[in-house]
Amino acid sequence: MTNEQRDSERERSRRRLRRQKQVAALAVVLALAVLLGVGLLLLSGGDASPPASTHSAKTSTSKKVEPKPAAAVPWLSALAGVINKATHLGETAALDRFTARGKPVYCGGSSGHYVALTFDDGPGAYTPRTLAILHKSHLRATFFLIGSNVPSRPSLPRIELKDYASLGVHAWVHKSLEPLKQAKIRNQIVWTRNAIATATGAEARLFRPPYGARNARVDRVARRLGMVEVLWSIDSGDSQGKNWRQIGREVLRNIQPGSIVLLHDNRGQTIRALHRLILPGLEKRGLIPVTVPELLMLDPPPVDGPSSLCWVHWHP
């Protein structure tokens, strides 16, 4: 495939993603767009300038009267804002459904072309490089943050949330939550969520326990806090010391529509695998990386279905 063909395919994939998002919130978009159009029509009619008098036109033959240019109406920008708001509402509604379900999410559905790349343990030294790679490819991912790391890098979470990512809670410190009592589990989640809110102005709705270690207490606390507990269907193996080629091969060998991939953005080998193998490999397969909320909106798994419906690739 030539570079021109790859660029064309990438652009078609992006357009397809945009159409999917718009369709997911079509009712809201249409309603608001109609109201916007009516408002602009009324505004245009009310601001119309009175026509020049016949007398003025006859007596001013020596001077041509230039028509006053119409005021610019940024209706395209307004409509784009409506679509973005509707998309956000669609993602929020999807998260609400899975919060009410109260069970961990391992993957999305299998009927679309979407996968979710997720990065744990940041923000850290390699986070800017990860964001730069995503930005260059016009892609988004999900970052599960360690709360105690957020204050030391206050600008990174804001950039991630605005342009490249959805943010989630990992824990305040990277230790298993299973041995803890409910109050301490709650503190680990709430402290991290508050740190993210302070840094970004937004509330994190996603939660991933360190090591994926969970029990009934962890699940119960997450549910009561309104969090969607997100695990994964593919472990890249980067936390087990694999090199960048092994990481990339592990992901691409097991990837399929709806996969949620576990990665870590505090490891240089992972970032190299992302840039050189994973993203090019997903593009060749026609798979589009999205955030977890986008995946749950665009191609969700059955809300009431068992987790076994998701093909899970665990590494002991």
Greatest pairwise CA separation for the chain in angstroms: 93
Cis before 151? omega within 30: no
Active site residue 235: no
Task: Kindly give, in sequence order, each residue whose CB lies less than 8 Å from that of residue 6, ignoring residues fewer than 6 positions away.
Answer: 283
Q: Which residues of 133-155 are buried (b: 16+ CB within 10 A; e: fewer)?
A: bbeebebbbbbbbbbebbeebee
Query: Which residues on adjacent β-strands are paired with residue 120?
Result: 144, 264
Active site residue: 113, 120, 235, 299, which one? 120
Which phi and psi (to 5°) does residue 180 adopt? -80, 155
Active site residue: 264, 275, 299, 313, which one? 264
Active site residue 299: no
Q: Is 98 helix (H, G, I), strand (E, B) or coil?
A: helix
Tokens of 5: 């063909």
Nearest by Cα to 169 from 138, 134, 202, 139: 202
- Do 288 and 108 touch, CB atoms closer than 8 A? no
Q: Catalogue the active-site residues.
A: 120, 264
